[in-house]
Chain A
Amino acid sequence: MLDLLAGFIQELRAAGLPVSLTENLDAMEAVGHIPIEDREAFKYALGATLVKNHAHWKTFETVFEVYFALRGAEFGIDADDDASGNGQVGERQEGMPQAGGGGGMEALTPEQLAEMLYRALANADEAMMRALARQAVTRFAGMEPGRPVGGTYYLYRTLRNLDLEGVLERLMQSARDDASGELTSLEERLERDEFESRIADLRQEIEAEIRRRLVADRGVDAMARTLRKPLPEDVDFMHATREEMGALRRAIQPLARKLAVRLARKRRHGRKGPLDFRSTVRHSLSYGGVPAEPKFRYPRPAKPEIIVVADISGSVAAFARFTLHFVYAISSQFSKVRAFVFIDGIDEVTRFFEATEDINEAVHRVNTEADVIWVDGHSDYGHAFTEFWNRWGHEVTPKTSVILLGDARNNYHASQAWVVGELRRRARHVFWLNPEPRSYWDTGDSIVSEYGIHCDGVFECRNLRQLERFVEHIA
């Protein structure tokens, strides 16, 4: 048991979760109090003692599932209904398309299977859904032992064959029939949400099934390695998948809120300033003119004015989006925020953010409505900067901090780096944020250091963590 847990904790640490020694000891003690056959309770016991941040829970769950999928069985922890997992896999490896738990399902035609799936979803029959998920994976995923492809590939193949979209439509249709007549739009929406959540459950079931089989095929350690996903705050902006993008978007709001609280606090609890003579004399009157209680002036650091100039061409669009989102989410910490976006032309987009309270919507409008194409829609930093300087350069004041966002891949156009130099002369600070890893800078058509020598700082900014650190630095 000790070895098992120690290995599990190793795995968690490798996945990036901070697990301290005391937490380790707590976990050991906790499992002593939990009936070992109860898999759920076991999981929560480990979770409560080892994971102290909700953002890490998902990672924990995956590692838990993978790690205890096979090894747990030796210790009788795996009370899941497919304890026969090993046997199943054995059969499959001999090339027999059989699922142990399916109970005679392999004889079904695809049509019958689809019918059963439909009925299981309509009745929310969980046991049936689980069996069907297993069957679907066996049938459609076409898993071959030793084949070096990721689980997502198998997932895609399975889902393509199940046509869940179609099933959803059919379910909706039957709901309409049941209601004998038209559903109101509200009912329609509720029904759809209900079915969508059931289908999401099915999807998860399928994913878990695929993962189980991959574990059986490749072994726990190899599998755990491939499943090691970065935490949301460590996801690289430029290579995030759709799903990760969603997670990032959700992560940004709480992060911004936290940062805003921290900054406000920092502003209030600044160190003591110089002696306030007036106030000291005024207070000394109550002590008969003896300045018993010295008063100090508290520094009130001015809130900076921010101008964000962002490249929104394809490769760095996501990065620009997140930065804009983030800066606006804490805009209360700045006296004023203005935003400009460019590809080869440049446009001010502040109006989108002022028009609505909903940052998401504003960011969306920036992407669809801003007028940023001048010639061909390939990044031209030189032209965009010159244009910026001519039209808005005089509005940059010594109170302004200018933040330039982009990878500085200029497609071999003229750099016009003098603009950045002029900006710096006029503004309080000029910063450059580059979403590329530092080792790529100045390779190919990237000319970041040409601009960089005119900036107060050039920062690598590849994930939320780095972005947060930077914003804290300037505010």
Chain B
Amino acid sequence: MSANEHRFESVATVREGLRSVDYLADDGIAGVVYLADRLQKPVLVEGPAGTGKTELAKSVALATGARLIRLQCYEGLDESKALYEWNYKKQLLRIQAERNAAGWSEIEDDIFSEEFLLTRPLLEAIRADEPVVLLVDEVDRVEVETEALLLEVLSDYQVSVPELGTVSATQIPLVFLTSNNTRELSEALKRRCLYLHVDYPDLEREKEIVLTKVPGVSENLADQIARIVRSIRQIELKKAPSVSETLDWARTLLLLGIDSIDAEQAKDTLHILLKYRTDIVKAEKELSAG
């Protein structure tokens, strides 16, 4: 990709683009996405669960019209699942089919060709011809050793396959890594990324998010929802309500035909916002205590 083929003109266009796909970015988010595009560096997105980290990558893909390639991380992920794998069954068939005909070296050349290569998300993202967004989800779930798999892809946008040589990217994919911070990521990984911390949105933004994501909700109700959620987040809880839970709550209230919440209704629907019994009890107490 040549230098003048950027996805975004300016920080403002990032925000416009994301808004057009119903993702409301604040200054920090838009700025970092813009930089990621300009510097051609991956973005490491951290923050509490349910604040729209994964959604960000999806929205960027949607806004730029790129294909989203997703690698869901889990413990025990290895290179055959992340990078590539040889399709050995097909290789076996090939060998058997040619048992008497060709010489060995010919077959060897043949079975280690692209035809027998199963690409996995990372390699796929590198080899894609069209623009792609690569999402490496919950990268904190893999072991420290496995993280190293990502390093080559992230810094040089290439993958080395011993039998084929190095596959370099034809276009630089925009890469997002998300992490719920269950463990400290390695320095090597962090160094290669831009860092973005996505926190719970402030009152205004949360209200706007509710308004855009839940059609039919009234301005007044959205305002009330955002304010109650903010109050609840101030209580010390095991798990504060996330944005997605706020949206669920808004939808529920809408379904119930409520357009101004009183304490009773709030209490009855708290279980949508909070998922621990102790949290619910605590919030009920706080909300009624005033």
Q: Contact residues of A with B, CB < 8 Å?
A: 18, 20, 22-23, 26, 29-30, 33-35, 38, 40-41, 44-45, 47-49, 51-54, 57, 184-186, 188-190, 192-194, 197, 254, 257-258, 261-262, 265, 269, 356-358, 360
Contact = CB atoms under 8 A, between A and B. Distances in A.
What is the interface of chain B mostly: helix, strand, loop, or mixed?
A: helix
A52 B287 contact: no
20 contacts: A22-B192, A30-B35, A30-B38, A33-B35, A34-B35, A38-B11, A41-B11, A44-B28, A48-B31, A48-B43, A48-B195, A186-B262, A186-B266, A190-B227, A258-B181, A258-B183, A261-B183, A262-B183, A269-B143, A356-B278
A190 B287 CA distance: 9
A26 B290 contact: no
A26 B47 CA distance: 22
Nearest to A21: B191
Given A54-B47, A193-B234, 5 more contacts: A47-B195, A48-B196, A188-B290, A189-B289, A356-B278
Contacts, number: 109
B27 interface: yes
A48 B194 contact: yes
Given A185-B289, A258-B184, A265-B143, A190 B27 contact: no
Contact of A360 (B46, B236, B290): B236
B231 interface: yes
A41 B34 CA distance: 10
What is the interface of chain A mostly: helix, strand, loop, or mixed?
A: helix
B90 interface: no
Contacts of B27: 40-41, 44
A123 to B, nearest CB: 15
Contacts of A188: 290
Interface string B19-49: 0000000011001101100110101101100
A51 B28 CA distance: 13
A316 B173 CA distance: 54
B100 interface: no
B205 interface: no
Contacts of A265: 143
B190 interface: yes
Given A22-B191, A54-B46, A190-B231, A45 B286 contact: no
Given A184-B262, A185-B290, A186-B288, A261 B182 contact: yes
A49 B195 CA distance: 6
A52 B195 contact: yes
Contacts of A52: 44, 190-191, 193, 195
Interface in B165-188: 181-184, 187
B81 interface: no
A339 to B, nearest CB: 20
Interface string B279-290: 000100011111
B102 interface: no
Nearest to B185: A52
A190 B31 contact: no
B106 to A, nearest CB: 32
Contacts of B224: 190
Contacts of B195: 47-49, 51-53
A54 B197 contact: yes
A254 B290 contact: no
Interface in B248-290: 261-263, 266, 276, 278, 282, 286-290
A81 B44 CA distance: 33
A30 B143 contact: no
Contact of A185 (B32, B187, B263): B263
B39 A258 contact: no
B287 A185 contact: yes
Given A45-B31, A54-B46, A189 B287 contact: yes
Contacts of B46: 54
